[in-house]
Chain A
Amino acid sequence: MYVYDDFDEKFVRERAAQFRDQVERRLSGQLSEAHFRPLRLMNGVYLQLHAYMLRVAVPYGTLSSKQMRQLAMIATKYDKGYGHFTTRQNIQFNWPKLKDLPDILDDLADVGMHAIQTSGNCIRNVTSDQWAGVAADEVTDPRPYAELMRQWSSLHPEFSYLPRKFKIAITGASSDRAAIAFHDIGIQVLKNDNGEIGFAVYVGGGLGRTPMVGKKIRDFISLEDLLPYLVAILRAYNLEGRRDNKYKARIKILVHETGIDEFKAKVEKIFDGLEKEKLRAPAGEIERIQGFFALPDYASAEANPESLSKARSENPAFDAWVNRNVAEHKQAGYAIANISLKPIAGIPGDATSEQMNLVADLAETYSFSEIRVSHEQNLVLAHVKETDLFELWQALVPAGLATANIGAITDMITCPGLDYCALATARSIPVAQKISEKFADQKRQEEIGDLKVKISGCINACGHHHAGHIGILGLNKKGEEYYQITLGGSGDQAAAVGEILGPGFSGDDVAGAIDTLVNRYVELRNETSETFLEVVKRVGLEPFKEALYADH
């Protein structure tokens, strides 16, 4: 994985010093909250309901064991002993004090981390496929290009006061695990007929109150022109994006109102006029970065080892975990082990300091000291020998990290909601907990199969509810929380926005309603391999509406 050189380190240290100065001016009253706000936001500091919140960037979701231990240390020293992994592959600390924030940034800089641009109207942390580099269906590892974009977008002098936030996601695989269609810019790495790397570029996707699927703006942009092309898109947006209404300020609205053809024409015109040479990465830089993402030194390892099948047949719980949480690796004898942060009835995405330290240790022992964070709020050990899986699982069980539910109904994305968030209209965590309890039975989860449930506590859609096979949106009517259910959303390569089923449900009734929908699905499916989403696409919403509302 990428390791800072002296230059990168100097950069984050200077940035931390700059923020320390800004915090001091705020604490002494020299800076007003109005002026401090955009400055703190660009450093990942939010004001939540009860306290400040610090969001730390985990660039494209890759962490080292050393970095994970530092996050655990920060959670213990400055917070309440836990952190929250987010849908943008970052980690949030919910209870730091303003005066401690500069010290936390210094601690992060010690391990090559920062909180730069994890919020604010600027280019946010670039996200990617959590299986990057090891997925069997990948053209190439997208992370060198994500790292290039991370560097390029950091404290960008031109693009730090955009109309609104700007999110970029990149994938190198044919199955999109990074939801690129729901980003301001989505990038798919390709290889052309000459074997050269390039990128298909999508623009104008997003969730929030007006969900939109991104539209293709370029079939193929060459590697050397990637940064100039991004400059052209961002310049068009910076100059023309709406600033009169913050709800219409995202690039998706500009693209929608202008029309993709006209928007593309504008971008191409700017692109043609750019003095491109200076905007490209310096010579040798891409190769330098790529060097860090060379595959680790895999040992020759036995594929489908005898010991694994034996352990599976003797331990049904382990067998269930392998079925659900272990994915195919491109190296024979190795596997991708996904660690669920969705224990039954737990808080989705939360991890305690002890859990973080354990995962750091296990990564060191079994997975080349590398950890991934997924946008579905789970962790990944990306290079585990098949012969080590059983030992790994045994170490995870006592820490509550062996829940066998990746991609299953209890593996929900859930935003912080009214328990933390100042914008929330309803709670989301308790609803997720109730659903999780209802479907706790492992066998039932297996019968249901792949089903993505996503929950947001307000229309801003941080919990991706629009992209859920079942989406749940928490709202508020006359002081009562209630929940709207959507069906048929999808965040993958066949991206779609879910459709609203009908009147909402109270917090107590949501889990029951989901149960009804799931039972209806089981009745409707032609064979057990037909997934929930496939059934919704085949039969439409009617049968589900009937099941939910017929006797109401």
Chain B
Amino acid sequence: MPIIKDGAIIEDSWTVLDEESDAPSSADIIIPLNIMLEKADRLSNHSGRIGLLIPNDVAVEDHADLIAKADLVVLELPAFTDGRAYSQARALREDLGFEKELRVKGDVLVDQAAYLLRCGFDSFDFEGEFDAVSWEKSTNIMTTGYQRTYRDKLSYRD
């Protein structure tokens, strides 16, 4: 799947660690939260960057310590109608102060990209084809909004 950032496909260094295998110690690895909770100590001499994959039924506040140490957090959108990740993202950004890369993975519709950006996501790992033109259009059509969110570029009476 392509990774989209700033409206374009990027080369991506992250690989997801699965249940059993151990990645080379210098790789950038994304670790699902449950594995992280079990194996945290075995990662102490890992020299690559560590990302955290958090399922959407998890309260992010409960894992503030792990999140603070992560270089990347990946949240999931199992169906485009399932909006839990939007709330998780805002809690991460605005309440826990997470500043590193926040990625969403799953069934992202181009028409949702603008909301996801406003909730604090910076990169997208989605199923299906990426069309840069409609992406560009859909993420720029609204320049106004009635909420102030993390790094929001929209104007709100200002």
Question: Within 8 Å CB of B91, what residues of A?
Answer: 235, 273
CA distance A10 to B114 in the complex (A): 17
CA distance A151 to B147 in the complex (A): 9
Stretch touching chain B among A155-163, A336-344, A401-409, A436-444: A155-163
CA distance A367 to B8 in the complex (A): 56
CA distance A279 to B90 in the complex (A): 11
Is there an interface contact between B95 and A273, defined as CB atoms closer than 8 Å? yes
Is there an interface contact between B81 and A157, defined as CB atoms closer than 8 Å? no
**Chain B 15-55 near chain A by CB (<8 Å), digits 1 or 0:** 00000000000000000000000000000000000000000
Please count the residue pairs between chain A and chain B whose beta carbons lie under 8 angstroms apart in the complex.
99
Is there an interface contact between B83 and A278, defined as CB atoms closer than 8 Å? no
Is there an interface contact between A239 and B88, defined as CB atoms closer than 8 Å? yes
Is there an interface contact between B111 and A39, defined as CB atoms closer than 8 Å? yes
Q: Which residue of chain B has its CB nearest to the CB of A155? A: B145
Interface size bracket, B side: 35 or more
Is there an interface contact between B137 and A10, defined as CB atoms closer than 8 Å? no
Question: Within 8 Å CB of A11, what residues of B?
Answer: 142, 144-146
Is there an interface contact between A274 and B84, defined as CB atoms closer than 8 Å? no
Is there an interface contact between B118 and A274, defined as CB atoms closer than 8 Å? no
30 residue pairs bridging A and B, Cβ less than 8 Å apart: A11-B142, A14-B141, A18-B141, A21-B141, A25-B134, A35-B80, A39-B111, A152-B146, A155-B115, A155-B145, A156-B146, A157-B114, A157-B116, A157-B119, A158-B86, A158-B149, A160-B86, A160-B115, A161-B81, A161-B83, A161-B86, A161-B112, A162-B83, A235-B91, A238-B84, A239-B88, A274-B94, A278-B148, A282-B156, A282-B158
**Contact among A21, A152, A161, A275 with B147 in the assembled complex (CB-CB below 8 Å):** A152
Question: Within 8 Å CB of B86, what residues of A?
Answer: 157-161, 238
> Does A210 sit at the interface, judged by CB under 8 A?
no
B residues with a Cβ closer than 8 A to A are 59, 61, 80-84, 86-88, 90-91, 94-95, 109, 111-112, 114-116, 118-119, 134, 137-138, 141-149, 155-158
Question: Within 8 Å CB of B118, what residues of A?
Answer: 157
13 further A-B pairs in the complex, CB-CB below 8 A; given A14-B142, A38-B81: A7-B155, A10-B143, A10-B144, A14-B141, A18-B141, A21-B137, A35-B109, A154-B146, A157-B147, A159-B83, A235-B91, A273-B95, A282-B157
Question: Within 8 Å CB of A17, what residues of B?
Answer: 141
Q: Which residue of chain B has its CB nearest to the CB of A153? A: B146
Question: Within 8 Å CB of B109, what residues of A?
Answer: 35
Question: Within 8 Å CB of B83, what residues of A?
Answer: 158-162, 238
Contacting residues of chain A (299-358) with chain B, CB-CB under 8 angstroms: none
**Contact among B87, B112, B156 with A235 in the assembled complex (CB-CB below 8 Å):** B87
Q: How far is the CB of B109 from chain A (nearest CB, A)?
A: 6
Is there an interface contact between A7 and B141, defined as CB atoms closer than 8 Å? no
Is there an interface contact between A7 and B144, defined as CB atoms closer than 8 Å? yes
A residues with a Cβ closer than 8 A to B are 5, 7, 10-11, 14-15, 17-18, 21-22, 25, 35, 38-39, 121, 151-152, 154-162, 235, 238-239, 243, 273-275, 278-279, 282, 285
Is there an interface contact between B157 and A161, defined as CB atoms closer than 8 Å? no
Is there an interface contact between B84 and A278, defined as CB atoms closer than 8 Å? no
Q: How far is the CB of A14 from chain B (nearest CB, A)?
A: 5
Question: Within 8 Å CB of A35, what residues of B?
Answer: 80, 109, 111
**Contact among A14, A152, A158 with B119 in the assembled complex (CB-CB below 8 Å):** A158
Question: Within 8 Å CB of A21, what residues of B?
Answer: 137-138, 141
Q: How far is the CB of B77 from chain A (nearest CB, A)?
A: 9
Is there an interface contact between A158 and B142, defined as CB atoms closer than 8 Å? no
CA distance A5 to B87 in the complex (A): 30
Question: Within 8 Å CB of A235, what residues of B?
Answer: 87, 90-91
Q: How far is the CB of A454 from chain B (nearest CB, A)?
A: 31
CA distance A162 to B81 in the complex (A): 8
Q: Which residue of chain B has its CB nearest to the CB of A163? A: B83
Q: How far is the CB of A274 from chain B (nearest CB, A)?
A: 6
Is there an interface contact between A238 and B119, defined as CB atoms closer than 8 Å? no
CA distance A469 to B125 in the complex (A): 54
Is there an interface contact between A239 and B94, defined as CB atoms closer than 8 Å? no
Is there an interface contact between B87 and A239, defined as CB atoms closer than 8 Å? yes
Is there an interface contact between B147 and A18, defined as CB atoms closer than 8 Å? no
CA distance A154 to B115 in the complex (A): 12
Question: Within 8 Å CB of A282, what residues of B?
Answer: 148, 156-158
CA distance A285 to B156 in the complex (A): 11
CA distance A22 to B118 in the complex (A): 20
Q: Which residue of chain B has its CB nearest to the CB of A227? A: B147
Q: How far is the CB of B41 from chain A (nearest CB, A)?
A: 29
Q: Which residue of chain A has its CB nearest to the CB of B83? A: A161
Question: Within 8 Å CB of B145, what residues of A?
Answer: 11, 155, 157
